[in-house]
């Protein structure tokens, strides 16, 4: 789908008050499309409320810049309890909002705001850039409102980087009114890319260079601009057939990626790169072996393991990973389907389980999930392993490395003593040290709780992170074994 067709379809969707999710990799232009849609909606008379959460802020709850100033005028008309809850959230975070009446009042306040602002002839459009970085409390608030504004003139358009980063992906997607339509933002067509390069870099690029930049970048605008800038800023424009100069950041990234490869693997990949894109000579392990690389299979496997080369498909062609998909965030694979338990309740956080199906297989061994009969794995004191990329302390920075820890399971009686009626032993299980200090945290939601070599739980919620007397709460997967088996087998 071209950009013009994408914008036409998206605008029509918003005019009908529907939810729209613009997905795509880094640099593809999701924010540019969002800007165009927001500007068009404002010209059509809609009240556009925007927020742009950042990765560094994803652990900070209820950021006040997520409410547009024009919406704050309606706050004074709210009932006192709702106004107080909203003020507490914007100034003190979730700790300032009590667990029961305060949270309900806050959710009702947001819903009341939307009802006051949205009216016939003046719809409201919520525009959220980088939904994956929206903090969890705000995402849960929007999810509450999203299920209750379907009959109001409220449209939502959000961008999300694919794949979703962090364990809260499914929860954040629920911030959109359903059904939400996902529109992937694809690469720019050659003509559009040439126009972009002419505006941003200048009209001095020769035609062959523009074509080569389009091919090398895969139509990714940001990557193409970096390449074009390197070409235009070089001492001499490359001649036809010569390689394009590599921008400084990509050169450093290439060194990082290729540095761990053995000398033999580098030689094999150099030969493969020479044949890449040449029909019908696309490089395969067999053709590389025939070209004088007897250890091609082992060397390509080494490159796959180091994520320099994509896992081989059925055709056996050696395909290099995209430089924009192989940084510190690891391999990116899009979600093809998301199943959320139909009875999930974000007020009580019960039935907190989902299944995300990827569009590609990962070259890793998976953990077997527990069966309905495996309830003995939760015996108090059993050693459980937790894994995640979440924050390293309560409301602290997120980790750029996968972290793991061991915690003991907690008896249902002790967990009930900590959380009271909020703990549902049929759907939840607790794990943690009595003294605290080790726990999952913000951003770990959806991560695994492993017991006896099996996937036995999913990171769900808790009172802060690693607090004494408040263990982490996990979804008890034995209670959902049949539903998960059906989803995994479909």
309-340, pLDDT tens digit by residue?
A: 877 877 788 888 755 444 444 566 778 888 99
Average pLDDT rounded to a whole number, residues 189-210? 83
Cα–Cα distances in angstroms (integers) from residue 241 to residues 109, 130, 238, in the given order: 62, 39, 8
Please, which pLDDT band fits residue 93 given cuts at 50, 70 and 90? very low
- Least confidently predicted of 321-335, 404-418, 437-451: 321-335
Whole-prediction pTM = 0.51
The pLDDT value recorded for residue 138 is: 77
The pLDDT value recorded for residue 412 is: 96
Average pLDDT rounded to a whole number, residues 477-484? 95
Name residues whose C-beta falls within 8 Å of residue 277's C-beta, 6 or more positions apart in sequence.
215
Please, which pLDDT band fits residue 116 given cuts at 50, 70 and 90? confident
The pLDDT value recorded for residue 326 is: 44
Cis peptide before 163 (omega within 30 of 0): yes
How high does pLDDT run on average in the chain? 80
The pLDDT value recorded for residue 110 is: 78
Asked if residues 161 and 24 have their Cβ atoms less than 8 Å apart, the reply is yes
Asked if residues 294 and 300 have their Cβ atoms less than 8 Å apart, the reply is no
Asked if residues 484 and 374 have their Cβ atoms less than 8 Å apart, the reply is no
Q: What is the pLDDT of residues 274-318, one digit of tens each?
A: 776 555 557 899 989 998 999 999 999 998 888 788 778 777 888
The share of the chain scoring above pLDDT 90, in percent, equals 26
Please, which pLDDT band fits residue 99 given cuts at 50, 70 and 90? very low
Name residues whose C-beta falls within 8 Å of residue 390's C-beta, 6 or more positions apart in sequence.
166, 167, 398, 399, 440, 441, 442, 443, 444, 445, 447
The strand pairing partners of 385, in sequence order, are 406, 450
Q: Is the pLDDT of residue 235 over 60?
A: no
Please, which pLDDT band fits residue 60 given cuts at 50, 70 and 90? very low
The share of the chain scoring above pLDDT 70, in percent, equals 80
CA distance 38 to 46: 9
The pLDDT value recorded for residue 255 is: 77
CA distance 486 to 342: 14
CA distance 19 to 17: 7
Largest Cα–Cα separation, the chain: 79
The pLDDT value recorded for residue 61 is: 46
Cα–Cα distances in angstroms (integers) from residue 473 to residues 25, 445, 448, in the given order: 33, 10, 12
Q: Is the pLDDT of residue 445 over 50?
A: yes
Residue 53 in tokens? 């959460």
The pLDDT value recorded for residue 346 is: 77
Asked if residues 133 and 164 have their Cβ atoms less than 8 Å apart, the reply is no
Asked if residues 192 and 28 have their Cβ atoms less than 8 Å apart, the reply is no
Q: Is the pLDDT of residue 169 over 70?
A: no
CA distance 430 to 449: 10
Tokens 């959460």, located at residue = 53
The pLDDT value recorded for residue 372 is: 94
| The 3-state secondary structure of the chain, one letter per residue | CCHHHHHHHHHHHHHCCCEEEEEECCCCCHHHHHHHHHHHHHHCCCEEEEECCCHHHCCCCCCHHHCCHHHHCCHHHCCHHHHHHHHHHHHHCHHHCCCCHHHHHHHHHHHHHHHHHCECCECEEEEECCHHHCCHHHHHHHHHHHCCCCCCCEEEEEEEECCCCCCCHHHHHCCCCCCEEEEECCCCCHHHHHHHHHHHCCCCCCHHHHHHHHHHHCCCHHHHHHHHHHHHHCCCCCCCCCCCCCCHHHHHHHHHHHCCCCHHHHHHHHHHHHHCCCCCCCCEHHHHHHCCCCCHHHHHHHHHHCCCECCCCCCCECCECCHHHCCCCCCCCCEEEEEECCCCECCCCECCCEEEEECCCCCCCCCCECCCCCHHHHCCCCEEEEEECCECCCCCCECCCCEEEEEEEECHHHHHHHHHHHCCCCCEEEECCCCCCCCCCCCCCCCEEEECCEEEEEEEECCCCCCCCCCEEEEEHHHHHHHHHHHHHC
CA distance 228 to 144: 45
Q: Is the pLDDT of residue 96 over 60?
A: no
Asked if residues 85 and 106 have their Cβ atoms less than 8 Å apart, the reply is yes
Asked if residues 109 and 103 have their Cβ atoms less than 8 Å apart, the reply is no
Asked if residues 488 and 447 have their Cβ atoms less than 8 Å apart, the reply is no
Q: Is the pLDDT of residue 97 over 90?
A: no
């Amino acid at each position: 789908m071209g950009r013009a067709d994408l914008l036409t379809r998206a605008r029509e969707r918003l005019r009908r008050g529907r939810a729209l999710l613009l997905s795509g990799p880094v640099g593809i232009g999701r924010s540019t499309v969002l800007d165009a849609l927001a500007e068009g909606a404002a010209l059509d008379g809609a009240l556009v409320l925007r927020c742009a959460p950042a990765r560094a802020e994803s652990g900070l709850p209820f950021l006040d810049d997520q409410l547009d100033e024009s919406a704050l005028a309606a706050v004074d008309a709210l009932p006192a309890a709702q106004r107080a809850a909203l003020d507490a959230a914007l100034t003190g975070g979730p700790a300032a909002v009590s667990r029961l009446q305060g949270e309900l009042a806050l959710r009702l306040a947001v819903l009341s705001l939307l009802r006051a602002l949205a009216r016939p002839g003046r719809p409201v459009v919520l525009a959220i850039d980088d939904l994956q970085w929206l903090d969890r409390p705000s995402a849960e608030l929007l999810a509450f409102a999203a299920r209750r504004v379907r009959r109001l003139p409220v449209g939502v358009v959000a961008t999300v980087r694919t794949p979703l980063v962090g364990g809260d992906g499914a929860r954040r997607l629920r911030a959109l009114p359903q059904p939400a339509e996902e529109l992937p933002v694809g690469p720019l067509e050659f003509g559009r890319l040439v126009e972009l390069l002419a505006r941003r870099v200048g009209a001095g690029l020769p035609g062959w260079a523009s074509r080569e930049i389009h091919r090398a970048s895969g139509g990714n605008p940001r990557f193409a601009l970096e390449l074009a800038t390197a070409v235009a800023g070089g001492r001499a424009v490359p001649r036809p057939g010569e390689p394009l100069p590599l921008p400084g950041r990509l050169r450093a990234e290439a060194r990082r990626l290729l540095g761990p490869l053995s000398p033999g693997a580098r030689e094999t990949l150099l030969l493969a790169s020479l044949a890449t894109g040449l029909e019908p000579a696309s490089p395969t392990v067999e053709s590389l072996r025939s070209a004088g690389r007897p250890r091609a299979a082992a060397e390509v496997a080494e490159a796959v393991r180091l994520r320099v080369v994509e896992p081989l498909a059925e055709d056996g062609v050696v395909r290099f990973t995209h430089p924009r998909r192989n940084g510190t965030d690891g391999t990116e694979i899009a979600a093809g389907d998301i199943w959320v338990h139909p009875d999930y309740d974000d007020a009580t956080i019960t039935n907190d389980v989902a299944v995300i199906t990827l569009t590609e297989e990962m070259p890793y061994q998976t953990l077997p999930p527990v069966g309905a009969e495996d309830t003995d794995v939760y015996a108090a004191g059993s050693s459980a392993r937790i894994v995640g990329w979440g924050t390293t302390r309560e409301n602290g920075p997120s980790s750029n490395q996968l972290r793991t820890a061991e915690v003991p399971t907690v008896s249902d009686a002790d967990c009930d003593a900590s959380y009271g009626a909020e703990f549902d032993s049929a759907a939840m299980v607790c794990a943690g040290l009595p003294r605290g200090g080790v726990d999952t945290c913000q951003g770990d939601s959806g991560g695994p709780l492993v017991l006896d070599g099996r996937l036995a739980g999913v990171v769900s919620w808790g009172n802060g992170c690693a607090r004494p007397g408040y263990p982490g709460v996990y979804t008890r997967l034995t209670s959902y074994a049949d539903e998960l088996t059906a989803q995994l087998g479909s």
